[in-house]
Amino acid sequence: MLRTIGKYIFMLELGYKYIRVFKKTYFHPFISQKPAYKQLSLDRQAYSNSILEFLNIEVNLIGKLPEQNKILYAMNHRSLLDIIVMEHVFSKYGKNGVWIAKEELFAAIYGGFFKYSGCISVNIENRKGLLSFFKKIKSTLSKVDDLNIYIFPEGERHKGDGILEFQSGAAKIAKANKLDIVPIFINDTLESVFKNAPYKEKKIVHIHVGDIINTARLEDDYKNFMNKAKEEKQ
């Protein structure tokens, strides 16, 4: 019980500390978008690496990220740890990127973390808001030539086997901005991993990175990649 409470206290305290760190860049009067997104990426990665170190979790990456940027990384979503382990992976490759997050997250008690760390909000129920969202993505990518897009195509967490039906946003973003899509499969139920953390002995979680997949067949190609990754682990 105390261990569970302790990890939440640690994460919240560190999170609020980093909100202040993010704000220094977010509100900087003289910084342009490219160095701003780079700094925010570095700060998110530092936060995530601290969390994994505290929880005693190690990430085993199967495959490798492409050297080029302006990639849309499509990932399955099961736990609040998903972003944290992926930021750790991106830190190893020096990647600069931005998360696409539901608008409601920006209004939650921890909303400042999403807003000031450079995430881009989307409201899929609002047509006008969607148009504004796609314009912002295009404008940002035109000004930040090394930016990557991170997205959960399912749109929400899924605790069961397999994946939920993909929403159309990921494919539309990639097509509209001529981005390659790289699939990533988190081959662990990180909800249970987080529940049992922190660990006395190192806990290893497995992340699979696939090759570039077809935008028009995103969900089918992702499922094929995921099933192959599952077979490799067995």
> What are 67-123's pLDDT values in tens digits?
999 999 999 998 889 999 999 999 999 999 999 998 888 888 888 999 999 999 988
Its domain, for residue 156, covers 2-233
- Give the up-direction half-sphere exposure of residue 155: CA atoms within 13 A in the CB hemisphere: 15
Query: How many domains would you assign to the chain?
Result: 1
> What are 168-183's pLDDT values in tens digits?
899 999 999 999 999 9
Distance CA 56, CA 67 (A): 28
CATH number at residue 85: 3.40.1130
Tell me if the pTM is above 0.75: yes
CA end-to-end distance (rounded Å), the chain: 33
DSSP 10-69: HHHHHHHHHHHHHHHHHT-SS--HHHHHHHHHHHHHHHHHHHHHHHTEEEEEES---SS-
> What are 117-165's pLDDT values in tens digits?
999 998 877 777 788 999 999 999 999 999 999 999 998 888 777 888 9
